[in-house]
Structure 1
Amino acid sequence: MGPPVHPRLTFALAIIEGLAILAYAFSGFIEARKHRLDAVGTFLVALATAFGGGTVRDVLLQRRPFYWVEHETYVLVIFVLSLFAPFVLRMASRVFNERALLIADAIGLGLFSISGTSIALDTGMPAFIAVMMGVVTGVFGGIIRDVVCNEMPLLLRDSRPYATCAFVGCWFYLLLDHLQLDPVYSVIAASAFILIARLVTFKLNVRLPH
């Protein structure tokens, strides 16, 4: 049985999702460089970061083939970039500063979370489960990356809202969907909500109570 149709994402949004995948892969490259991994290790860490959340979601929803199997081009691009990761990172550091990488990560969080929620809705999942699938899609790549690199996941050691932004944003998406707003606008608005919430709480150094 093939994967369900995903009508809530247009071709344009699928392109943006591809950019988010590459943004997450770059965070994997950076982590691999910190640990001085070779090309094989770099590829595995980048792949886990880019597709970890979506793979966990697909396993839980029993979707086949996995997203990264269905979109082999992304895997090939990450593989090639992994071979030249040190050079790629040096080039990227000249173009992107730390703030730009934070924004890219927030964009990835927003789009992955909303796309995960949308996919879960398309499979007939109830609202709360769909939201949790969205959060899993958005945050689990980073968790797997940190575990593979033998570190405590950033999600657990940094009390600034991250998964919380995704959780609230996914509910916002469900509200817009319930109001029958155009699906494209719903995805964009909810993704933007998560992006802005993540950046604002980071800028203001908002922290969740321990």
Structure 2
Amino acid sequence: MHPRLTLALSLMEALAIFAYAISGFIEARKRRLDAVGMFLVAMASAFGGGTVRDVLLERRPFYWVEHQDYVIAIFGLSLFAPWLLKWATRLISERTLLVADAIGLGLFSISGTSLAIDAQLPWFTCVMMGVVTGVFGGVLRDVLCNEVPLILRDSRPYATCAFAGCCLYVLLARSSFDNVYSVLIATAFILLARLVTFRLDVRLPH
């Protein structure tokens, strides 16, 4: 893989992880949790989907164990989260968080699908493994905060975007398309699908 592409993917990965962690901080703050609670909710948001994926695929060590720098950074942020959130709300717009979250959804979903393909699982299982990786962190976050998970009460497409993008990735992978470009195309598809449907306020039928 080209060094610049590797760097770009690494930066996008970091952005996605911290976007998910920030969503955890925000929800924990609404529930008036202490630093320990904020850390747990942020960890669940950032790594919950990947951990469930690793458990199902019997992968060891877990992703967050291999990348402890992210864990240390989230731990440090959780100690100062209440003050950081007040500062961040002045500098970071809701649109920025939406874009970062959409990047995370795309990257995590496609990474989950890719690992399932490497494990030679059936195509639909690969797709669902990607969806679980992308959305389950948010589910765990909401459960820890004693809420009905957002994907079950918000009719705007979220998991649906991940599902469609993972299907596209499987098709590209099976057509012997270059894997690097397959990842980029499928991730971009999920990102754009999420942003466009949110912008147009598209809602799934009840």
Normalised-by-shorter TM-score class: over 0.9
Question: 1:16 & 1:205 partners in 2: Cα distance?
Answer: 25
1:5 alignment counterpart: none
In the alignment, structure 1 residue 178 sits paired with structure 2 residue 174:
yes
TM-score by length of 2: 0.94
Question: 1:19 & 1:199 partners in 2: Cα distance?
Answer: 17
Q: Which amino acid aligns with 2:157?
A: P
In the alignment, structure 1 residue 142 sits paired with structure 2 residue 138:
yes
Question: 1:132 & 1:14 partners in 2: Cα distance?
Answer: 24
Question: Which residue among 149, 152, 160 is the counterpart of 1:153?
Answer: 149
Question: 1:122 & 1:75 partners in 2: Cα distance?
Answer: 26
Cα 1:10–1:179 shift into 2, 3 Å? farther
Question: 1:205 & 1:16 partners in 2: Cα distance?
Answer: 25
Task: Describe how 1:64-75 pairs up with structure 2 within 5 A.
Answer: 64-75=60-71
Question: Which residue among 54, 67, 70 is the counterpart of 2:50?
Answer: 54
Question: Which residue among 71, 78, 92 is the counterpart of 2:74?
Answer: 78
2:103 alignment counterpart: 107
In the alignment, structure 1 residue 196 sits paired with structure 2 residue 199:
no
Q: Which ranges in structure 1 are unaligned for 5 or more consecutive residues?
A: 1-8
Is the 1:173–1:187 contact (alpha carbons within 8 Å) kept by the matching residues of 2? yes
% identical aligned pairs: 72
Question: Which residue among 22, 37, 43 is the counterpart of 2:18?
Answer: 22
Q: Which amino acid aligns with 2:51?
A: T
Equivalenced residues, count: 202
1:120 alignment counterpart: 116
- For the residue of structure 1 that corresponds to 2:69, the secondary structure is helix
TM-score by length of 1: 0.92
Is the 1:10–1:184 contact (alpha carbons within 8 Å) kept by the matching residues of 2? no
- For the residue of structure 1 that corresponds to 2:157, the secondary structure is coil
Question: Which residue among 26, 36, 42 is the counterpart of 1:40?
Answer: 36
How far 1:14 sits from its partner (Å)? Answer: 3.6
Is the 2:12–2:103 contact (alpha carbons within 8 Å) kept by the matching residues of 1? no
Show CA shifts across 1:154-198 (max 9, x none). Answer: 000001111010000001111222232221211111111001111
Question: 2:79 & 2:6 partners in 1: Cα distance?
Answer: 32
